[in-house]
Structure 1
Amino acid sequence: MLKGNLLNLFTEEIYPAEVEIQNGEIKCIKEVKGEFKNYILPGFIDAHIHIESSMLTPSRFAEVVVPHGTTAVVADPHEIANVLGLAGINYMMRDASTVPLHFFFTAPSCVPATAFETSGSVLGPAEIDELLQMDNVVALAEMMNFPGVIGEDQVVLEKIKLTREHSKPVDGHAPLLSGADLCKYICAGISTDHECSRLEEAQEKKRLGMKIMIREGSSAKNLEELQSVGGDFLVSDDRHPQDLLEGHLDHTLQKAVQLGMDPVEAIRMVTLNPASHYHLDTGSISPGKRADLVLVDDLEHFNVKKVLINGEIVAREGKALFKVQPTQIENTFRLRDKKPWDFEVQSNLTGKVTVRVIKVIEGQLLTEESEAILESSGGVLKVDHENDILKIAVVERYGTNHISNAFVNGFKLEKGAIASSVAHDSHNIIVVGTNSQDMATAVNTLKKNRGGLVAVYDEEVHSLKLPIAGLMSTLSAGEVSDQLTKLHDVVKDMGCKLASPFMTMSFMALLVIPKLKISDQGLFDVESFQFVDVLK
C-alpha cells in the first residue's frame, strides 16, 4: 500500500489516494482523505538510451539510475552489437536480468551503421527477425541509414518490413532531413525522431506525424531549444556516469519545468507516452499495470524519496536497495602496435597546402567542414597549434589494421594526445593529438588495456579501462566517474575547453550525423555520403 498525492495522467487531477498492490501489480486506486507532503507518480521511462555510453554495464547502470526514479528504459544495444553482434546483445540482456530495473531493448537496425567503416559484426534481416521475436525487444532501433531508406536499399526496407510484420514500431534518426526526402523516410513506416537540434526541424517532423523525442544527454542538449515544440518523449540518448550520479530523468523533468513546460505534460513524456508507444505494461497508475511507482517531494524539483518496481521498494532517499554483480564477456582487440609515422598525413606537395578540417560544435553531434592552410615539409603536413588545427585518426581494431588520418579544429590541445575505443558507431579507436609520438603511445595503451580512454600528457599516461567490449566497466558509477573526472582534469590541463572531450571525440567517427566525419577508411562527407580527400 502506498499513500500520497496521486497525479492522475488520464484526468490531469491531483488528489490524495492510496495505491493497493498485489503480486507486483496495481490492484486498485482509492481516493482517501488526508494531507500528504509527497506525490505518487508512475515510474520514469527513458524511451531512448544507449547504456554503453554510460560506460557502465546494464546492472551498474540500474544501480545509479533507479534511485533517481527510473524504473524502465528502452535501450538500443547498437554500440555493443557493432563490436560483438548477437553475442553482445545477449550479454546486455543477461546482465540486465540480474537487477530490478525493467530493460526493454530495440533491435539494432544498422550494424554496421554504414558501409564506409569497419565494424566487428553484421546484423542482417535474419538476425533482426530473430531479435524481434523476443518479448523484451519492443522495436526496430533508430534507422540511421536514412539515405538507404530514401534510396530504397532492399536490405534496409526488409528490416523495416519485418518489424511491421511483428507489429512493432520503427524508431527514426534523421538529422536535418526535410521536404520530400523526409516524407519518403516517414512513408517507409518510421515513427519517431530524436535527432532534432532546431525548433523548425522538429516542427516540420511533428507536422508530418512523427513523434518527437527531445534529447537531453551529456553531449547533445536539445531541451532548451525544443521544449516549446510539443514533444512526445524526454530521452537521454547518451549519458556519462558523472551526470547520472547527479540525476537522470528526474533532472530532465526539473529542467523542463524550469523552462516553462507544464509538469503534467513533462511527466507524461517519461511515463504514459513511451509506455503507449512501445506497448509496455507500465507507465501509468492503473489497475493491472506493473506497480512501478515513484514518490517525489513536489512537481517542481522532483526529489525522489522512494522507488517501487513490481511493488517492491528498490530505492529510498537516493540509495539503491539491491546488490549488483556485473557479468563478464570475452573481449578482444586485434591490431598491431602503432608507430609515430602511422599518424602522419602525407603530401607530395611542398610549402602551403589547403586541407579540409572537421570543425567541432560544442554540445552537438553535428560538425561543420572548414579549411586550413598548413605547411608541407618532407612529404608530411604539419599541425597548426596557434589556430587549433590538430591531427585526428581512426585506427581499425578488428584485424584489418586500417588507419586514416585527417585534421580537426575545436579540441584546443596544446600538447599531448587523447584516444578512445568508444567511437560511434563501429567503435574503432579514435585519437586526437598534437604530435604523432603521443598519438601512437595513446593507441598502444588502449590496445594493452583492451579498451577505454587514454590521455598522454608530458610523457605520462592516464587511462580509464573499459574491458567490456572496449565500451563498459564493471566498476560502479562512482568509481568510473572518479577516474573519468581525473582524465577530464588532465585533458583540461592539456588546454581543452570542451565539457565532455571524450564523448565529443567519439562522435567525430559518427558517419550518420552531418557534416564532416572520419572512419577507419577515410574522411567522410555525410551530406554527400561519400569519402573526400583531406587535401582540397
Structure 2
Amino acid sequence: MPDLKHRWKNKQLREQVAVIDHKKAPTLVLQNARYLHSAMKRWLTGNIWMYEDRIVYIGDAMPASADEIYDCTGKTVVPGYIEPHVHPFLLYNPKTFAEYAAKRGTTTLVNDNLMQLLALEKKKAFSLMEELNRQPVSMYWWCRYDAQTELDNEGDIFANGTINSWLEHENVIQGGELTGWPKLLDGDDMMLYWMQETRAMKKRIEGHFPGASEKTLTKMTLFGADGDHESMSGEDVLKRLMNGMMVTLRHSSIRPDLEKLLTEMKELDLDQYDMMMFTTDGPSPSFCADGLTDKLIKIAIDHGVPPIDAYHMASYNAARYYRMEHLHGMIAPGRLASLNILTNEFHPNPEAVLSNGIWIKKSGLDTSPFPNVQWQRFGHKKMSFDWELNEDDLQFSMPFGIEMVNNVITKPCNVIKDVAGEHFYMNEDQNYLVLLDYEGKWRVNTTIKGFANKVEGFASSFSSTEDIVLIGSSKEEMKRAFERMKELGGGIVLAEKGQIVHEIPLPLSGIMSDQPFETVIEQELKLKELLAERGYPFDDPIYSLLFLTSTHLPYIRITSQGMYDVMKKTVLFPTIMR
C-alpha cells in the first residue's frame, strides 16, 4: 500500500486512462458479473475492468483484449470487507491475521497500535508499518491515548510528542479506543488535547463505553467521540444512534452479541443500518475458525437484515465513516480492486478474493501472495531475561486475592488458607498468582480463585503489559513453567508432575507467534482443552490472561503499580521491589 496522499503517480493515472481509450489492455476483467453497486444500492450486471490495483471501468463494454478474463457468470461480486477494530496481537500477529482474514474476504483492516507503542521504539514501529504495507491488503492503524492499565512509565510511553507523531502518520486514521474515558471525565486535559488534535486532522475517535448511560454518552460525544463498539443490547445501540455515533456491532470471542443485538434492534424497530458496521473485536484465534466478517454478514442476513445493508455494514458504511470511500467499499471506477466473488449474496464466504488487484484466493484455492516479515529488524524479537526466579519471588502474605467472575471480570476475595507452604490443595479452587516485571525489577504476589482447581504450574508472557504471569498450586511447577517460558523467549506454558504438558511459543516480544494462523488456532484449542480438564470454567483463557492487568474493566487488577482497585482508582497494595 504506497503513499496514501498520492496513491497513484501521474504516469499510473495516465496508464489507467489509456485503458479507457483502448490504448492499453486491462490487466484483469471480471466478465458477466452480478455486482453490488453501493451508490445505487442495487445489484447490477456487467463487466468490471481493472488495471493493476485499481478498478477503471464498470459497465456493458468489453475490451478488445485483457491480460486475464475471469468469467463471473452466475456469480455475485461485492466489495472487499472492512474490519474496523482489530487487535492484531492475540497470539497471532498483524501479518498472519491479515492473511487469514483476507482468505475470508476481509481485505481492509484498522489495527490497534497498543503493542507497537509498548514494545517498540517509535522509529521502528513506523518502519514496521511501512513494511506491513507490502502485504497485499490495506492496513490502517489507531493511535491509543492510554495503556488501559497502570504503568510506572506511562508518561514516557504516552509522551505528547510520541502521540502527536502517531496521529500525524498517514496510516493512522483514528484515535482511541477510549479505554481511559473515566480519566477524561475527571479532567485529563492532555487526553482532551489529543482528541482535539485528532479531530483537527479529520480523523475519527473510537470510544470504549460499556454500560455507559445516556448522560455519559452525550458527554463523550461533546468531547469528540465519533463511534463506539460496546453496545450489549438493542437499547445501547439506540442510545448511541441518538447521540449521532457510528455504532459498531460486535461479535467477538468474549462478547458474541450480534444475534442478541439484531433481535433487540428489531423489537425497537431499528431498521436503518447506514450508521452501523461490524467487528469481531480482536478475537481469540479459535473463534475465527468458522469465519470473520463473512460470518457476521451471514448472521445479519439470517436475522432479517436485507443483504445489501448487511454487505454495506461490512464495507461501504465503514469506508464512508473513515472518509475513504474514494478507495474502499464500492465497486466503481477509481476504487481499489478489492473484490469478493461469491456463489450468491446469501453465502458471504467468498470462493475467490481480489485484494489491491492481487488474487488472494482463486477458484477456492489460496494463492499465498503474502511476503514474510523479518520481525527482528523492527524490534519484535524473543524475550531475554538476565535475572532468575528465586525463592523470595514465590512468597505470599497478602490478606486478599482476586476472584474471576467470568472470562474477564474480577473481584476481590478472601484468601482461604495459609499461603506460606509449597502447595495449594487443588480442591480449594484457589491458586498462587504472581505478576513479575519483565526486567525483573518488581513483583506482585497474591492468589486467584476461579481460574482452575487442577493447574500445578502455568506461566505466560502474554499480558496487556508484557509482564510475566505465573499461576498454580505448586511453586515447584510454577517455577518449571517459568523456566520453560524463559527458554522459549516468551510464550505460554503448562507444567505438572515434572513435565511440560503444553506450550505456545511467542517469540515476537512474548506476545505474538510467528506461526501460521491455522497453527495458532490448533495450539490455542489444545490449551483450552487442557485448562478445561483442569477446572477452568470459562471459554476464553487468552482474554483472561490479557485482562488480568487491564484497568478498564472492574473490579480489581494486578498492575506494575500493585493490586489496583479499578472503581476507586487506587493502589491497594504496592509492588514489591526484587
Common fold by TM > 0.5 = yes
Match of 2:444 among 390, 398, 404: 404
C-alpha change, 1:259 and 1:520, in structure 2 (3 Å) is: farther
C-alpha change, 1:114 and 1:369, in structure 2 (3 Å) is: closer
Displacement of 1:84 in angstroms is 2.1
CA distance in 1, matches of 2:61, 2:554: 55
Displacement of 1:102 in angstroms is 0.7
Output aligned runs, 1:97-496, within 5 Å: 97-110=133-146, 112-116=147-151, 122-227=157-262, 228-229=264-265, 232-280=276-324, 281-316=327-362, 317-329=364-376, 330=379, 331=381, 332-334=383-385, 336-339=387-390, 341-347=392-398, 355-362=400-407, 365=408, 367-369=409-411, 371-372=413-414, 374-376=416-418, 385-397=426-438, 399=439, 401-424=441-464, 426-461=465-500, 462-496=502-536
CA distance in 1, matches of 2:525, 2:165: 40
C-alpha change, 1:377 and 1:254, in structure 2 (3 Å) is: closer
Match of 1:86 among 118, 122, 126: 122
CA distance in 1, matches of 2:342, 2:453: 43
Match in the other structure for 2:100 = 64
C-alpha change, 1:76 and 1:411, in structure 2 (3 Å) is: same
Q: Which amino acid aligns with 1:70?
A: T
Match in the other structure for 1:49 = 86
Residues 75 and 104, structure 1, Cα contact 8 Å, conserved in 2 = yes
1:505 aligns with 2:540: no
DSSP-derived class of the 2:417 partner: strand
Displacement of 1:497 in angstroms is 4.0
Residues 523 and 533, structure 1, Cα contact 8 Å, conserved in 2 = yes
C-alpha change, 1:502 and 1:120, in structure 2 (3 Å) is: farther
C-alpha change, 1:325 and 1:142, in structure 2 (3 Å) is: same
Q: Which amino acid aligns with 1:393?
A: V
DSSP-derived class of the 2:120 partner: helix
CA distance in 1, matches of 2:103, 2:349: 10
Displacement of 1:30 in angstroms is 1.9
C-alpha change, 1:509 and 1:259, in structure 2 (3 Å) is: farther
CA distance in 2, matches of 1:507, 1:310: 36
Q: Which amino acid aligns with 1:469?
A: S
Displacement of 1:104 in angstroms is 0.8
C-alpha change, 1:527 and 1:88, in structure 2 (3 Å) is: farther
Would you say how many aligned residue pairs link Structure 1 and Structure 2? 520
1:516 aligns with 2:562: no
Residues 42 and 308, structure 2, Cα contact 8 Å, conserved in 1 = no
1:37 aligns with 2:78: no
C-alpha change, 1:57 and 1:91, in structure 2 (3 Å) is: farther
Displacement of 1:337 in angstroms is 2.1
DSSP-derived class of the 2:335 partner: coil
Displacement of 1:43 in angstroms is 0.2
C-alpha change, 1:107 and 1:370, in structure 2 (3 Å) is: closer
CA distance in 1, matches of 2:183, 2:422: 36
Q: Which amino acid aligns with 1:358?
A: E
DSSP-derived class of the 2:295 partner: helix
User: Cα deviations across residues 262-284 of structure 1 (Å, max 9, x unaligned)?
Assistant: 33222111101111111222111
Displacement of 1:346 in angstroms is 0.1
CA distance in 2, matches of 1:226, 1:427: 34
Displacement of 1:384 in angstroms is 6.6
Match in the other structure for 1:350 = none
CA distance in 1, matches of 2:565, 2:241: 27
Displacement of 1:184 in angstroms is 2.2
DSSP-derived class of the 1:463 partner: strand
1:26 aligns with 2:55: yes
Match in the other structure for 1:74 = 110
Residues 105 and 349, structure 2, Cα contact 8 Å, conserved in 1 = no
CA distance in 2, matches of 1:381, 1:213: 48
Q: Using the TM superposition, name which of 480-489 and 509-518 deviates more.
A: 480-489
User: Cα deviations across residues 98-126 of structure 1 (Å, max 9, x unaligned)?
Assistant: 3101101112222x334456679603221
Displacement of 1:191 in angstroms is 1.0
C-alpha change, 1:360 and 1:256, in structure 2 (3 Å) is: farther
C-alpha change, 1:449 and 1:145, in structure 2 (3 Å) is: same
DSSP-derived class of the 2:50 partner: strand
Q: Which amino acid aligns with 1:326?
A: V
Q: Which amino acid aligns with 1:104?
A: Y
C-alpha change, 1:51 and 1:479, in structure 2 (3 Å) is: same
CA distance in 2, matches of 1:502, 1:340: 28
Q: Which amino acid aligns with 2:307?
A: P
Displacement of 1:177 in angstroms is 2.5
User: Cα deviations across residues 472-493 of structure 1 (Å, max 9, x unaligned)?
Assistant: 2222122333333333333233
Structure 1 segments unaligned to the other structure (5+ residues): 348-352
Residues 397 and 419, structure 2, Cα contact 8 Å, conserved in 1 = no
C-alpha change, 1:192 and 1:306, in structure 2 (3 Å) is: same
C-alpha change, 1:343 and 1:274, in structure 2 (3 Å) is: farther
Q: Using the TM superposition, name which of 279-288 and 120-129 deviates more.
A: 120-129
C-alpha change, 1:170 and 1:291, in structure 2 (3 Å) is: same
DSSP-derived class of the 2:416 partner: strand
CA distance in 2, matches of 1:63, 1:22: 23
Q: Which amino acid aligns with 2:561?
A: Q
DSSP-derived class of the 1:487 partner: helix
CA distance in 2, matches of 1:258, 1:384: 48
Residues 149 and 559, structure 2, Cα contact 8 Å, conserved in 1 = no
Displacement of 1:304 in angstroms is 0.8
User: Cα deviations across residues 275-296 of structure 1 (Å, max 9, x unaligned)?
Assistant: 1111222111122111211111
User: Cα deviations across residues 451-501 of structure 1 (Å, max 9, x unaligned)?
Assistant: 121111222223211111212222212233333333333323333243332
CA distance in 2, matches of 1:376, 1:162: 53
C-alpha change, 1:314 and 1:495, in structure 2 (3 Å) is: same
Q: Which amino acid aligns with 1:308?
A: L
Displacement of 1:96 in angstroms is 1.4
CA distance in 2, matches of 1:298, 1:406: 55
CA distance in 2, matches of 1:85, 1:205: 36
CA distance in 2, matches of 1:529, 1:287: 53
DSSP-derived class of the 1:374 partner: coil
C-alpha change, 1:322 and 1:473, in structure 2 (3 Å) is: same
Residues 214 and 223, structure 1, Cα contact 8 Å, conserved in 2 = yes
Higher radius of gyration, 1 or 2:
2
Q: Which amino acid aligns with 1:449?
A: L
Displacement of 1:436 in angstroms is 2.8
Give the fraction of aligned pairs with identical amino acids, expressed as a percent: 22
Structure 2 segments unaligned to the other structure (5+ residues): 1-28, 63-70, 266-272
